[in-house]
Amino acid sequence: YDTKTRLKSVEKLDLSEENPQWQSVSPLLFRRALPAVCVHNNKIYVCGGFDGTSRHSTMEFYDQNTDKWTLLDSTSVGREGAGLVSLGDCLYCIGGYDGYNLLRSVERYDLHASSWSMISSMITPRSGAGCAALNYRIFVCGGFDGHIHLPTVETYSTITGQWSMINNLTVPRCYCSATLLHGKIIVVGGYDGQSLLSSLEEYDEANNSWSSKTNMPTARCDAGFAIIKYRNYS
């Protein structure tokens, strides 16, 4: 969103170049604000989002070898502010906002069958949560439930098919970012209901505990977060 319209433009930065510069690539098929994004097998998947009029249920993926976006099967409901996680040969679209309600529902996309199915709903409705996968579990961190900015975290087990709560984040975070680094979940930035956040915290699965780490220089909300050769970029 550029303060006037929702965007479909896409840019890339090749960090292997000596003097990397941002370059435009093929645009998305649809305009999207607050879409859910993940990477699987070197393809970028983008699902949902708000085009200024309605919430998308569509999903598309980008193949960097062909510089082309391809439309896939749609979710059962349009979502903005959802999470999208890759685990095994499936993608999971988690929560979000459909224009009327904050959502607990979760849908799973089978990459072999090319189809969506509903799975168990989350315990708490959430939009703007940070989502990441570790081993056989999906972690959904923080978000907004329609009333408060959440410090709570819940996990989905692909073995049991059930959701469970784990220890809270150190602070509430909405529209934070999450990823996996060295076997630990990292959550960074967001908005706590009063201020934008620069803080970063790390989850230790063995101890079921969150600990604060070095802050970013700049507070950020709705930022992307990626690991490139074990360096964090937000």
How does pLDDT run across 118-139, given as a tens digit for each residue?
A: 999 999 999 999 999 999 999 9
Parallel/antiparallel/unpaired status of strands 137-141 and 130-134 = antiparallel
Contacts of 16 (CB under 8 A, 6+ apart): none
Q: Which long-range contacts (CB under 8 A, 24 or more apart) does 64-71 make?
A: 64/12, 64/25, 67/25, 67/26, 68/26, 69/26, 69/27, 69/28, 69/29, 71/29
- pTM beyond 0.75, yes or no: yes
Condensed to tens digits (0 to 9), the pLDDT of residues 2-28 reads 999 999 999 999 888 889 999 999 999
What are the structural domains of the chain? 1-121 (2.120.10.80), 122-234 (2.120.10.80)
